[in-house]
Amino acid sequence: MPDHLLERATLSQVSASVKTPGYTTHPTETGVVHLGLGAFHRAHQAMVFDQLLREGDSRWGIHGVGMTQPGLVNKLRAQDGLYSVRIAGATGVEWQVPGALWQTSVATTERPKVLAAIAAKSTRWITLTVTEKGYTPALAQLLIDGLRLRHANGAGGLGGLTIASCDNLQGNGHKLKALIHATASSQDEALMQWVDAHCAFPCSMVDRIVPAATEEVATAAKEALGLTDDCALSTETFWEWVIEDNFVDPGDAALLAKCGVRVTNDVHSYEEAKLRMLNGSHSAMALMGAITGRPYIASCIGDDHIREFVYRLMSREVAPHLSRTDWADYRDALIQRFGNPYLKHSVHQIATDSSQKIPQRWPPSILGQMAKGQSFEHHALAAAIFLRYTLAVNEQGHAYTLNDPQAESLLAIGKDQVADAASSLKALLSRQDLWGIELTRNAHWAERVAYWHDQVIHQGVDATVKFAITLDA
């Protein structure tokens, strides 16, 4: 097998079984600036834009911005923005090389390039996947500076932008717009008026399971492509993108819809179902897996008691508060998706930033159950498991790292939990940033988490989960 790198010059050598762009990947004029060039964007939105480019609409080439790490951007540059994606589902496996990534830059070291891209005439959209913890004043300042440049260039007739947050946050478009307004200085008043009048901030729900790249996938890519690909990704067949019908160019709605994107005025019901069912179960399983030594989500859902736990969590405690009525089908499909053997989705990857994820994923269901006087035992057990996770050592005695902006405070809370459970529980459950004000004041919640924590510490996670699913609560 030749040891050539996947790049524009070698694209024609890619094995015929692999779907390749089939259009000229354009070097400079891009239509979308994407902030947060992680695996997710490259296997989700970049593939939707690839579809639009395939249909001959050249306005969807991406300028991808890595927020901090130059490593991935350098690798992608060496490959002219090309990379392969293994798509695995019930019907088998296929490989595709999307071609939408035309330009790249790193926000920390190439800021002027990013600002110029936001201000460029050809740019129509900004999309963002900067993760939950990325919604900072620094992000807003980057956008404000880019928009200021665009506004200043506006004499030449530049329009506003559709700015679509695609992170797992409820009401993500509203949150981004509010953050920009809160960060803008008094000198930016005219700019903010222009932003309000000419830019659109649609809310979005995005869904596709895309684990971080691994060596195993790179090896499989070499086999499938006949070329070396240092940026190969693996994902599932399923994908969903639901976006609010709120665009600067109203014509974009029909174009996206044609590619399978759901354009609607009711993103909220999709967001809440996805965050609480998919992501809520993901966080619970990830923490269980980290403690019990299961490496992947598929290894968790593959065990009957964990699958039953997740099924009950979704059916009994999440579903009653959703406005999406087809939740039973959604739940069953999720359980299938979690079991996809190709994904090898690391529990430690999902447990990363738990302090930023849990607030969106669990409290709304817990509060919903409380309001109806219904049981929240599954979530209480999940919260107890989260506390056990902060011990940073699994049940086999192996230490693991807590990758979390709150790691220091969580480790301090968790370290004495075996000897002094009451203090750790009190410290964790009084954190309003995690649970919200109402839950921190709820004695019944605290009592149930303490009950499950005692079980987890003394019986272990598996025995406790097995016991929990025998309860009819």
Q: Which of 282, 331, 379, 431 binds ligand CS2 (CB under 6 A)?
A: 282
Site membership for ligand CS2, residue 150 (CB under 6 A): no
Site membership for ligand CS2, residue 209 (CB under 6 A): yes
| Side chain identity at residue 363, one-letter code | P
- Supply the minimum distance, in Å, between the C-beta of residue 244 and ligand CS2: 18
Q: Are 298 and 339 in contact (CB under 8 A)?
A: yes
Retrieve residue 18's tokens.
């692999």
Residues 44-63 that bind ligand CS2 (CB under 6 A): none
Q: Considering CB under 6 A, how many residues would be counted as binding ligand CS2?
A: 10
**What is d(CA 417, CA 454) in angstroms, rounded to the nearest whole number?**
10
Site membership for ligand CS2, residue 168 (CB under 6 A): yes
**What is d(CA 81, CA 79) in angstroms, rounded to the nearest whole number?**
5
**Nearer to ligand CS2 among residue 40 and residue 445 (C-beta):** 40
Site membership for ligand CS2, residue 172 (CB under 6 A): no
Site membership for ligand CS2, residue 279 (CB under 6 A): yes
Q: Which of 124, 331, 357, 388 binds ligand CS2 (CB under 6 A)?
A: 357
Q: Are 30 and 85 in contact (CB under 8 A)?
A: no
Q: Which of 177, 208, 294, 448 binds ligand CS2 (CB under 6 A)?
A: 208
Site membership for ligand CS2, residue 84 (CB under 6 A): no
Q: Which of 167, 188, 207, 377 binds ligand CS2 (CB under 6 A)?
A: 207
278: DSSP letter: I
Retrieve residue 103's tokens.
């330009």
The residues pairing with 241 across neighbouring beta strands, listed in sequence order, are 206
**What is d(CA 143, CA 147) in angstroms, rounded to the nearest whole number?**
6
- Supply the minimum distance, in Å, between the C-beta of residue 439 and ligand CS2: 21
Q: What are the respective helix, strand and coil percentages of the chain, to the nearest 5?
A: 55, 10, 35
**Nearer to ligand CS2 among residue 123 and residue 235 (C-beta):** 235
**What is d(CA 223, CA 263) in angstroms, rounded to the nearest whole number?**
38
The number of residues in the chain equals 473
- Supply the minimum distance, in Å, between the C-beta of residue 175 and ligand CS2: 16
Residue 307 burial (CB count, 10 A)? 17
- Supply the minimum distance, in Å, between the C-beta of residue 462 and ligand CS2: 22
**Nearer to ligand CS2 among residue 188 and residue 271 (C-beta):** 271
Binding site for ligand CS2 (CB under 6 A): 168, 207-209, 278-279, 282, 349-350, 357
